[in-house]
């Protein structure tokens, strides 16, 4: 069995780890969002270039 102080310290560490994991997850999701925006932007630019290119027969 652990003492109350050890239990509280353990709970604090777990809470801090959860906060860190959430912060890392948020950063990851922001990165993915930016990558997807960039990818979509590139696709839109390619589509616009295809549409504006003269038709080849």
Q: What is the dihedral of CA 55, 48, 38, 36, to 10 degrees?
A: -80
Q: Is the pLDDT of residue 6 over 80?
A: yes
Which string of b and e fits 20-47 if b means at least 16 CB within 10 Å?
Answer: eeeeeeeeeeeeeeeeeeeeeeeeeeee
Model pTM above 0.75: no
**Above 80 in pLDDT, residue 57?**
no
Q: Tell me if 2 sits within 8 A of 10, measured CB to CB.
A: yes
Q: What is the mean pLDDT of residues 12-23?
A: 95
**Tens of pLDDT along 25-56?**
999 999 999 888 887 777 777 777 788 877 66
Quick one: pLDDT at residue 3? 92
């Amino acid at each position: 069995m652990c003492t109350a102080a050890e239990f509280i310290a353990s709970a604090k560490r777990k809470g801090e780890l959860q906060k860190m994991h959430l912060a890392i997850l948020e950063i990851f999701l922001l990165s993915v969002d930016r990558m997807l925006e960039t990818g979509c932007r590139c696709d839109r630019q390619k589509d616009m270039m295809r549409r504006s290119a003269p038709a080849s027969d």
